[in-house]
Amino acid sequence: MGIIKKVFKTAVLGGAGSAAGFAFWTRNCYAYQRRYLAKKYQNTTTTAHQLWTPTELKNSSYDVGTQITDHFEVVSKTPSSIVVRCGDSPLITGVRDSDGLFEMGVDVKREEGVAEFKLKSVLYKGSGKADSKPMPDHIEFLHRLYTKLWMETAMSNVVR
């Protein structure tokens, strides 16, 4: 199946994962973070309902409310994008000191035979007055590199 057919089927027709069909959470880049979070937070009580295994992550439809590795929660889903809240455990539902949103999307241009994948990241201080950036410069830089790598490795799910 070519990239356009696969992306169109996944993103536009609402296949498994919709816009997340190219599976950010199933590739090698996220595997390290997933294993770290699993060691630290996965348990049989408070996080048992969350997605942890590669199979769960690959097969999820990522509906609103889906919680991922005690670090993300789907807060919005359309046929072409998914927005997740990040920055702390989704078990903390109120205002958080460290908070953020990721939007993963795809714009399928059938006439041109291309698909444009998008990743937007907004990190912010949710509580109190922000007297500085939400994270130090070196962490912000590493975060930018990591999200680019995350996107590139996820793309391997849909390229020919």
Structure confidence at residue 160 (pLDDT)? 57
Query: Domain extents for the chain?
Result: 3-155
Query: Are residues 106 and 117 in contact, defined by beta-carbon separation less than 8 angstroms?
Result: yes
Structure confidence at residue 70 (pLDDT)? 95
Place of tokens 């536009």: 12
Structure confidence at residue 157 (pLDDT)? 67
- C-alpha 119/C-alpha 40 separation (Å) is 27
Give, rounded to a whole angstrom, the gap between the first and last alpha carbons of the chain: 8
Structure confidence at residue 8 (pLDDT)? 47
Question: What is the full per-residue pLDDT of the chain (160 aa) written as tens digits?
Answer: 444 445 545 544 344 444 445 566 677 778 888 899 999 999 999 999 999 998 888 888 889 999 999 999 999 998 888 899 998 999 999 989 888 998 888 887 878 877 788 888 888 888 888 888 888 888 888 888 888 887 777 777 666 5
Count of alpha carbons within 13 angstroms of residue 158, beta-carbon side: 27
| Helical spans, DSSP H, in 11-59 | 28-41, 54-59
Burial degree of 63 (CB within 10 A; 0-12, 13-18, 19+): exposed
Structure confidence at residue 37 (pLDDT)? 92
| DSSP state letter for 148 | H
